[in-house]
Structures are given as structure tokens and as C-alpha cells.
Structure 1
Amino acid sequence: MDSPTKIIFNPCENKENQYITILVNGLEKHGFEVSKLDDFLSSKKHYQSIKLLHLNWFENLDDSSSSSMWKSYFRKLVVLAAIKFGKKKLVWTMHNRLSHEKKSGKLSRALTQKIVAQADAIIIHSEVSRGILRSKYPNLKSKIIHIPHPDFVDVYGAMLPESSEERTPQLKLLFLGAIKPYKNIELLIEVARRFPQSVHLTIAGNPNSEAYRSELQKLAENTPNISLELKFIPDEELPSYIHQSDLLILPYSLDSSLNSGTVILGFSYGRTVICPRIGTIDDLDGGENVFDYSYEYESEHLEALEKQIQKAITLHQNNPNSLIEKGHRMQGLVLKKNNKQDVTDSLIELYESLL
């Protein structure tokens, strides 16, 4: 009997993101033995046994302090050198246009350049990424493979049954996910203030710092149509949060955002989204079932967002079920285009072609 192929998938676990679990479980079911990156250089025997490394978000650095950032950078350079020295196969997934961490941007870009130069394959989750990669790295030799982001249908529990009686005239908007500055939460609070009667906004997720939590609480003070639930939302509660909303609203920055697991999550649980036309939205091409928008300058973002909210309000007031119907159509689309089994099969096929 053949021994299992030993690989590293980094990170191989993430309690806040089932994306990792879906892929790692699929790889293990197929017979791959998945190890952590931390163990890569733990012993000569283990190092020699690893055939392939798949890195996600590897270009992100710890920017909590200058010393941490440089330490993180050099540690990652050592890992890349060890991969090259051992002639290991390297796969990298491009998740973002650029690092969301502003302080470490320059170093992160330098690291990304090294990863791109060394990778045997680069996975993209949206077609627009191909052009971005080729424009930034004209001498790119790596193999670019488009594998969609897996769907989340039933991953966080079953979808709750719909009831038309639950729909109210007030449009219920939900922001869900880790609360970080680049996600434009301040913009969301500002736009919600413009619709005091017709919109109720819930912001649910864990802020990346206590200072940021306080800042958002202060911004949303004396605004009755905004509910702040600034805490970690357990997996099992996600279907309920989504079910209680009419729409997810995700005003990401077009400067750095490219793909969104939260967009896929919303669609997977039968809700459509208000969101800039990032790569995820572009690939799915949901047409009138999605409230997507674009803007050239950040100063135009608020007006573009407000316009989509007004459009959703009008539709919702004319027919309270219209938005839910759009969400269900988007669920059908992700089941077809982002089928988690097809995604895992494509990843396995890629690994096997490299090995």
C-alpha cells in the first residue's frame, strides 16, 4: 500500500474561517497527509518528507510593532529559502490585491514578489486576478490556475426556513465578519445615519483592537437604527444572523479587496449583498440579483453606496420578498459555480499535476 503524500497547507486550521476546513478535509479524505508550517523545519526527516507546500495569506506580516514585522519578514524568507533548497513544490493562493496591513505594505509587497517568483502554481479565486498578476509581474513564469472559492452551503448549519411574516417595512442590513479598518465600517455608520427610518443596520463581528471597538461605539452613539454586536460570532449563530437580515452590506475598499468569503457566505445562506464589484462579484455575474457598484475615488464611495441602499429600500417596500428571492437565486448560482466538491477536486488535480 502506498504511503500518503505529505504536504503542508498553511494555515491548516482557522477557527474563524471554514474555508480552510473545507479544503483541508477534502485533501485528507483524498489521502494527503497535511502538516502545519510550524513543523516544516522541526526535523530533517520531516523536512525531507514534505513534497509540496500551499501558502495562503503568507505575504501578510505581523505589524503589531516594527521589530515583530521585521522578525516575521525574515522568518518567512527562511521558509522560502528552505522550500527552494529542498526543491519542494510551492503553491500560493492570491487572496487580495495587496496586504490590508498599511504599516507593513512595503515589506509585504517585497515578500509577495519573492513568492510569485518562486511559486510553481498560483491559485486565483477570481479571473480579474490574472490581469493584476501579469501587470505587476510581467516576467511571471508561474502557472496561474483559476479555482473558485468554495461555497459555504450548510457548512455553518442548516439554512433556516423563510417566513414572509418576518419581513418588516424597515430594510434590515447586516455587516458580518472581522471588524477591521479597511472594511469601511465608519462609512457604513455614516450612510446608515442617512436612513434613520427606512434602514436598520446590524454590525456583527470582533474588532481587531479595543481602541477600534471604542472608536466605533463612539461613532454609532445616539443612532437608534444601528446595532453594534462587536464580539466574536460563533459558527452556529451565523445562519440566524443572516436569516434575520434582508441583505448583507459589505463596503470593501476596491484598492485592496479582491475576493470575499463573506459574500460567498451570504449567498450560501440565501441572502444577496450590497458590495463593490470586486472579483468575487464579477465572476459570479449575478446581474440584477446583486447590488454591486463601482467608484473611481474613495470620496465617491459613500454616494455609490447610498444609491444602492436606496434602490434596495424601494424594492423591499414594493415587495418584501423580492430581496429574499434574489438571495435564493444567488444561492443556486454559488452551488453551481463554487461547488465545494468541485473546488476540492480541482485543487487535488493541481497538486497531482505538480507531483
Structure 2
Amino acid sequence: MKVLFFWEPGGISLDRSNPYAALLGRALLSRGIEFEAGFRSHLSPEFLEANRNTVDVLHFNWPSGLYADPDPRTAVAGGMALLSGINHARSLGMRVVWTMHNLYPHDSALYELDRLVRLGITSSADSVIVHCEHAREQLRRHFFRAQGVFTIPHGNFIDAYPNTLTRAEARSRLGIDRRTFVYLFFGTVRANKGVEKLVEAFRQLPGDDCLLLLAARIASEYGDAVAQRAREADPRILVHRSSFYRNEEFQLFYNAADIAVLPFTDILTSGSAITALSLGCPVLVPAIGCLPELVTPQIALTYDPSQPQALLQALEAARRHDLASCRSLAIARMRDLDWGDIARRTLQVYRSPQPSFQLRAD
């Protein structure tokens, strides 16, 4: 069986992109599956016709990456080409699978197009994979798909990121006192990440024995502005900026932290939470999306973001929590999310009978 896995524009890599695809691919390869990166050119009629007897599955993940463009007309044309390619592939007997990592792109500028493309994919795909039961319900409510849907959890990132630095070494490199309580935000600064709300809440905490460490990946003018304001907002906020963090750098920040704070305003599946927990760092997260199904009270604190002052109260509660015992439990929880089992279940999806269904809006 040969699978074309449509991931990020740069392809599939363990160290240059989100490691999800590389880890899943490695596990599928061990089961005898040909697993290759898919690109926009692979949806052309010429490629599909030429490979009708060699490619078995087209597996999509981030559809917008195959049509997004600053020019709306080009984006629309790309979206229509994507749907046309999917339907052409199905007519040739190829199976189409979509893993719905998020409901919509986080920085969508063309909501109507994104919705149209997702409706087209859900109506055409043989199977849709979701990472939690909440996502299954969102798929049904927003895109009217209830059959041919498979819940497979997001795998761990333990093997993706080196984890050899001690807490003392990490803090020494960052110039952080061993007695300081460290809250960490690590990741791309986008509007849905809630960094501005985190800074606002942190500034209300009393005392000089706590620190907010922002390891900010800057990929936009918005992110640049938020990071700069955070640096100026409070002397207890330590900002590290980069356009790209190497895999070996992650441990520096997570091992220096007492807890990683991920105050999403909107999220479905969180690779950031998986990353933190895979490095043994407890997390503080809102009880939204798939997060309540991912974490337990032994490895995380959660809060209701609809309640006033909930984030501030959660930050205060973190200092009273036994976070030291959470670290080993976090890694144990992540080991449960084994890529071998995930690959086995994904292979079952590839081989599952084609469903007979109609999309229904309740």
C-alpha cells in the first residue's frame, strides 16, 4: 500500500516541521506501508492518471496549506483545484482520508472558502480521523459528517525532542534563579494562543519570586508586536524570540519551567500541550477542545476561560500544586499515546470498507 501524506508545504521532517507526520510515517513504514509526502502537484490530473495503479491513499491534514494565497482569486482557484483533485482521485479508485486537526485555520482570512473546502472534503473523503470525541461532535455539527469517522489520539513527541538537560543546567543557561517559580509560554505567537491575556494575568501576580518565560516564535507582525509589549510590560517577564527553534532547544525552556501555560482562546488539538507533556512539563490549559480528554489532574491544571479571572486564579493555584510529581506522570501519560498503536489504527482506517452515507444537517 502506498500513501501520499499531505502535510506542510515544506514536506515531512522530524526536525524542520511539526514532527507528527514523521513519527506516524516511521511507524507506518515499519508495517510495510510506502509513506511519502504529498504536494499540490500530486493532485494534477496528469499525476493522478499516471499513478492510478501505484497510489492507494491520499491522506490530508491541513487543507488550507494546499490553496492559501495572499491573492483571494488565486486562493479560490487553488481550493477548487484541491476539491477537483480529490474527486478525480476517488474516481480512479484511490482512497481519501482527512485528519481534522483543527476546525478552521487559525489565521484564516477567507472563512467562506475554508468552510466550502472542508464541506467538500467531508462529503468526498472515505474516512475522517479526529483526535477526540469532542472533535467528532464538532465534525458532525459543522460539516454534517457522522459516518466513516474514526477517533485516533494524537501521538507523543518523546522521540522528537532530546531531553537530557537538568533543571539546574537549563536555569543556569537562561540566568534564572533556582528558587524562582517559572511559568512558560512556548510557541508561535498567534491571536488564538492567548499570550496577551497571559501577560495581563501574570502582571496581577504579587511578588518578585516568579517569572514568566516567553519562548516566542515570531512569524507575523502581530507576534512581533505582542512580544515587544510583553518585554516592556513587566520586569518579571523574560522574552526569548526566534523565527525557528531547533529540536534540541526545546528542553532548555521546558526543563527550566515549573509549568507550561497554554491559554488558548480557540483550539481543537494542541501539539503544544503534547510537546510540553512529552518533555515532562506539566501544563495549565483551558478546558476547551480536545484538551479535557488529553490531560488529567495528575499532569495538568485546567480552568474555565468563560469565567472572569479564571486564568489569574489558575496561575495562583499552580504555585500551590505538587508539580514535581507531575513530571514523571506526564511522560507516563504520553507513553500511552504510542505511535505503534496509532499506526495500527490508522492502517485499519486505510483498509476500512468505503462507507455509504449522506451528509445531514440536523
> Does residue 225 of structure 2 align to residue 214 of structure 1?
yes
> Does residue 4 of structure 2 align to residue 8 of structure 1?
yes
Aligned length: 337
Contact 1:158-1:239 within 8 A present in 2 as well: yes
Shift of 1:97: 2.9
Tell me what 2:314 maps to: 308
Tell me what 1:282 maps to: 292
Cα gap change, 1:230/1:69 in structure 2, threshold over 3 Å: closer, same or farther?
Answer: farther
Tell me what 1:17 maps to: 18
> Does residue 49 of structure 2 align to residue 50 of structure 1?
no
Superposed, 1:170-249 pairs within 5 Å as 170-195=180-205, 197-210=208-221, 212-231=223-242, 232-249=244-261
CA distance in 2, matches of 1:164, 1:314: 24
CA distance in 2, matches of 1:251, 1:80: 36
CA-atom RMSD in angstroms = 2.5
- CA deviations on 1:197-255 (whole Å, 9 max, x unpaired) are 243112213222145313431343152111222211111111222111111110111xx
Tell me what 1:80 maps to: 86
Which sits farther off after the overlay, 81-90 or 67-76?
Answer: 67-76
Tell me what 1:268 maps to: 278
More helix by share: 1
Cα gap change, 1:288/1:26 in structure 2, threshold over 3 Å: closer, same or farther?
Answer: closer
Tell me what 2:126 maps to: 120
Cα gap change, 1:146/1:327 in structure 2, threshold over 3 Å: closer, same or farther?
Answer: same
Cα gap change, 1:164/1:18 in structure 2, threshold over 3 Å: closer, same or farther?
Answer: closer
Shift of 1:98: 2.7
Contact 1:159-1:269 within 8 A present in 2 as well: no
* Aligned residues with identical type, % of pairs: 24
Which sits farther off after the overlay, 241-250 or 95-104?
Answer: 95-104
Contact 2:267-2:288 within 8 A present in 1 as well: yes
Q: What amino acid does structure 1 have at the position aligned with 2:35?
A: V
CA distance in 2, matches of 1:288, 1:65: 47
CA distance in 1, matches of 2:331, 2:290: 14
CA distance in 2, matches of 1:306, 1:237: 28
Tell me what 1:318 maps to: none
- CA deviations on 1:242-285 (whole Å, 9 max, x unpaired) are 111111110111xx411111111111111110111134432235
> Does residue 155 of structure 2 align to residue 150 of structure 1?
yes
CA distance in 1, matches of 2:146, 2:135: 15
CA distance in 1, matches of 2:229, 2:295: 38
TM-score (norm 1): 0.86
CA distance in 1, matches of 2:315, 2:202: 9
TM-score (norm 2): 0.84
Shift of 1:344: 1.7
Contact 2:165-2:255 within 8 A present in 1 as well: yes
SS in 2 for 1:314: coil
- Structure 1 residues without counterparts, runs of 5 or longer: 316-321
Contact 2:188-2:217 within 8 A present in 1 as well: yes
Cα gap change, 1:211/1:333 in structure 2, threshold over 3 Å: closer, same or farther?
Answer: closer
Shift of 1:141: 5.5
SS in 1 for 2:51: helix
Contact 2:52-2:93 within 8 A present in 1 as well: no
Structure 1 moving runs of 4+ over 4 Å: 161-167
Contact 1:192-1:199 within 8 A present in 2 as well: no
- CA deviations on 1:97-141 (whole Å, 9 max, x unpaired) are 333124122211111111111111111111211222222344x36
CA distance in 2, matches of 1:346, 1:183: 31
Q: What amino acid does structure 2 have at the position aligned with 1:69?
A: A
Which sits farther off after the overlay, 269-278 or 220-229?
Answer: 220-229
Contact 1:270-1:328 within 8 A present in 2 as well: yes
- Structure 2 residues without counterparts, runs of 5 or longer: 172-176, 355-362
Tell me what 2:76 maps to: 70
SS in 1 for 2:5: strand
Contact 1:63-1:104 within 8 A present in 2 as well: no
Tell me what 2:360 maps to: none
Cα gap change, 1:190/1:72 in structure 2, threshold over 3 Å: closer, same or farther?
Answer: farther
Contact 2:98-2:121 within 8 A present in 1 as well: yes
